[in-house]
Amino acid sequence: MALVRRTPDGADGGGARRDLSPREAACAVAGRLADRGHVAYFAGGCVRDALLKLEPADYDIATSATPEEIRAVFRSSRGVGESFGVNLIRLGGRTIEVATFRSEGEYTDGRRPSHVTFSSAEADARRRDFSINGLFEDPRTGKVIDFVGGQADLAAGLLRAIDDPDRRMQEDRLRTLRAARFAARFSLKVDPVTEAAVVKYAPDLAGVSRERVGVEFRRMMDHPSRSVAAELIERWGLDAGCLGESNSTGPLVRLSGVGEVTPFFAALAAWRLDRAGRTPPAGSGAWHRALMLSNRERDDFTSTLESVAAIDASWDASTVSARKRLAAQSTFAASLAIAAAANPDRGREVRAEVESLEGSHGGVAPDPFVTGHDLIAMGAVPGPLFKELLDSLYDAQLEGQVVTREEAHIRARSRLADVKN
Ligand code: ATP
Ligand code: MG
């Protein structure tokens, strides 16, 4: 258990105490605001998750206290998006977001409000996107405060935009993508008026910042419900706005079969292959830019596409060394899961074979008997031939044609002599 330093107000910075759970820390923050006479509620996702008997990822607090009043209570408070009244409080080893009740002004550009006004709890509930996200809980009594019919919708399994769905989607087009995320994650039916508004504003998602889209998209792909979200994205025509292309061809067998825990790059590769139908896609296409992938993500994404193609098309014709080289790649496990999702028999075959390769001649990725340093010590000069020689020596090792370091070094010297003559 980590020890944290705290100031006398209980925020981190002085004497040592144990870390609090996220809920304990949020209760402590809300309690301290309430002690000073402010209204302080748990807000949004954490209330929804608790009602669904899920463990909330984090706790947000909405309060009647102004940013100044929040700072007077917590010396550790750090303003983020000051104009929105949002503060971060460090307490018990946790960071809790505390935001003043606010309503939002006109959305002039479909992306962000022109200004915000500090206001009542009810107005703060009504500025939120969906009724299930518009709930408050008074942590002192456990009572849910519901201005937007969120509890009834949650009980009915319904995703519904608060107030006028058309206006809410028009105000902030990211909400169209969030609709897919929440409907998928909680297996919700979508209110028809809300769905019509999502479809209407779907083409405008392209105007939303790539960063915001990327964050929502990753949250969607990191969850086991990713293929349901992807189906909704395609059905509602949101794919052009988030992937930079629109060409779905049918069922998402790979994306739905990759397994609950799947790295982001693998989910992307599975979905891209599902969308490509019979033509294997070359490279990451427009997705790289559309989703602002890091170089690492893009490399893993393309390497997965290539490995799946190799498993599907050329595994049987490959040499033992080529199979071992493929199986040694960091993206191989994910690639095999994707190939197996589309063709389970083939997946089983390849998996069994990789197991046997792991037990043969030092496994799939043994340390090479001959390194570049060894070749240089033997008088070789780095260049294309040098690389070729190293590769062929390693292949011989993977194939079991040479089984000791000595043998490999003899072979290396004789090859070098051949080249020189
Ligand atoms: P998660 O558990 O995935 O974090 P969440 O409901 O907490 O879900 P967040 O994106 O963290 O979702 O946002 C917190 C809360 O802020 C939401 O529950 C919702 O009330 C409100 N909110 C967030 N984004 C928007 C938006 N674009 N428009 C309106 N309200 C929003
Ligand atoms: Mg959240």
- pTM (predicted TM-score): 0.89
For residue 49, which atom of ligand 1 is closest to its CA?
Answer: 2
For residue 56, which atom of ligand 1 is closest to its CA?
Answer: 2
The confidence score (pLDDT) of residue 420 equals 74
Which residue CA neighbors atom 9 of ligand 1 most closely?
45
Q: Residue 271: which pLDDT band, with cuts at 50, 70 and 90?
A: very high
The confidence score (pLDDT) of residue 280 equals 57
Report the SS3 class of residue 201: helix
Report the mean per-residue pLDDT for the chain: 90
Ligand 2 centroid to residue 219 C-alpha, Å:
10
Total length of the chain: 421
Which fold is adopted by the domain 160-253+271-278? Hydrophobic Seed Protein (1.10.110)
The confidence score (pLDDT) of residue 283 equals 65
pLDDT tens-digit series, residues 362-378: 899 999 999 999 999 99
The helix or strand, by DSSP H or E, that contains position 97, with its residue range, turns out to be strand 94-100
Which residue CA neighbors atom 27 of ligand 1 most closely?
175
Whole-angstrom Cα distance, residue 222 to residue 214? 12
Any bridge partners for residue 138, and if so which? 143
Mean pLDDT to the nearest integer, 65-86: 84
The confidence score (pLDDT) of residue 74 equals 92
Q: What are phi and psi of 326, to 5 degrees?
A: -65, -45
pLDDT tens-digit series, residues 316-347: 889 999 999 999 999 999 999 999 999 999 99
Mean pLDDT to the nearest integer, 106-128: 83
112 pLDDT higher than 90:
no
The confidence score (pLDDT) of residue 1 equals 39
The confidence score (pLDDT) of residue 109 equals 72
Tell me the domain boundaries of the chain. Answer: 1-156, 160-253+271-278, 302-358, 372-420
Domain covering 1-156: architecture: 2-Layer Sandwich (3.30)
Q: What are phi and psi of 281, to 5 degrees?
A: -75, 145
Q: Does 22 contact ligand 1 (Cβ within 6 A)?
A: no
Ligand 2 centroid to residue 186 C-alpha, Å:
14
Ligand 1 centroid to residue 410 C-alpha, Å:
65
- From 229, 166, 217, select the one nearest 195 (Cα to Cα): 166
Mean pLDDT to the nearest integer, 390-398: 95
The confidence score (pLDDT) of residue 284 equals 67
pLDDT tens-digit series, residues 171-227: 999 999 999 999 999 999 999 999 999 999 999 998 999 999 999 999 999 999 999
The confidence score (pLDDT) of residue 14 equals 44
Q: Does 419 contact ligand 1 (Cβ within 6 A)?
A: no
Whole-angstrom Cα distance, residue 408 to residue 367? 12
Q: Residue 281: which pLDDT band, with cuts at 50, 70 and 90?
A: low
Whole-angstrom Cα distance, residue 125 to residue 44? 8
- From 223, 224, 273, select the one nearest 247 (Cα to Cα): 273
Angle, CA of 19, 22 and 25, to the nearest 5°: 70
Ligand 2 centroid to residue 129 C-alpha, Å:
13
Task: Tell me how crowded residue 60 is: count the other CB atoms within 10 A of its CB.
Answer: 18
Q: Residue 286: which pLDDT band, with cuts at 50, 70 and 90?
A: confident
% helix, strand, coil for the chain, step of 5: 55, 15, 35
Ligand 1 centroid to residue 280 C-alpha, Å:
36
Mean pLDDT to the nearest integer, 268-278: 85
Q: What is the DSSP string of 213-273?
A: HHHHHHHHHTSTTHHHHHHHHHHTT-HHHHHS-----S--HHHHHS-SS--HHHHHHHHHH
4 pLDDT higher than 70:
no
Q: Which carries the bigger pLDDT value, residue 84 or residue 267?
A: 267
Which residues neighbour ligand 2 (ion) by CB within 5 Å? 45
Whole-angstrom Cα distance, residue 111 to residue 167? 13
Q: Residue 277: which pLDDT band, with cuts at 50, 70 and 90?
A: low
The confidence score (pLDDT) of residue 27 equals 97
Ligand 2 centroid to residue 338 C-alpha, Å:
30
Q: Does 113 contact ligand 1 (Cβ within 6 A)?
A: no
Question: Which of 124-138, 156-170, 281-295 has the least mean pLDDT?
Answer: 281-295
In testing the pocket of ligand 1, which one of 102, 128, 145 has its CB within 8 Å of the most ligand atoms?
128
Q: Alpha carbon 139 to chain centroid distance?
A: 30
Q: Does 219 contact ligand 1 (Cβ within 6 A)?
A: yes
Whole-angstrom Cα distance, residue 73 to residue 71? 5
Q: What are phi and psi of 6, to 5 degrees?
A: -135, 150
